[in-house]
Amino acid sequence: MGCVVTDAEWERIRRSLRFGQAFLGTVAKVPRPGSIGIFVDIGLAVGGFVDVLLLPEQEDLWPAEGTVADFEVWWADSRQQIRLKPSDPRHLRSDFAEYTARFRPGWTSDIGRPVLAG
C-alpha cells in the first residue's frame, strides 16, 4: 500500500503524474466497506486510495480485496497518497457525471494535465 517517502521523493512522484493517468492496481484493503474507501497498490512507493464518494453507494458493488483493475489519477496533494477513481463504471458511483459537474466541473479539461505543475 505504499510507504512514507521523503518530501522530495513525493514531489518527484507527483511531478510525474497526470490527471486521468491509468494504473493497473490491486485493491489492498477495504477497511470499513461503505465508510471511507479502498486502498489500492499501484506499484509506486506511495499508495493509492479511492474515496467513498467515488464508489458505488451499495458497498457490495465495491471491488473486493485482491481485485485487479484499472484506476485513474484523480488527485494528489501534499498527503503522500495518490487519490484514484475506478476506470470500470461498475466500481464507480452511478451518477459520476452529475457528481463531477457539481463538485469538479473542470475534470474533463484536467485530464492529461500535470498533477503538480512544475
> 11-44, pLDDT tens digit by residue?
999 999 999 999 999 999 999 877 899 999 999 9
25 in a structural domain = yes
Which domain, by its residues, includes 54?
A: 7-110
Give the chain's domain count: 1
Assign residue 33 the CATH number of its domain. 2.40.50.140
Cβ count within 10 A of residue 76: 21
Q: Burial level of 34, CB count in 10 A (0-12/13-18/19+)?
A: middle
User: Residue 27: inside a domain, yes or no?
Assistant: yes
pTM: 0.92
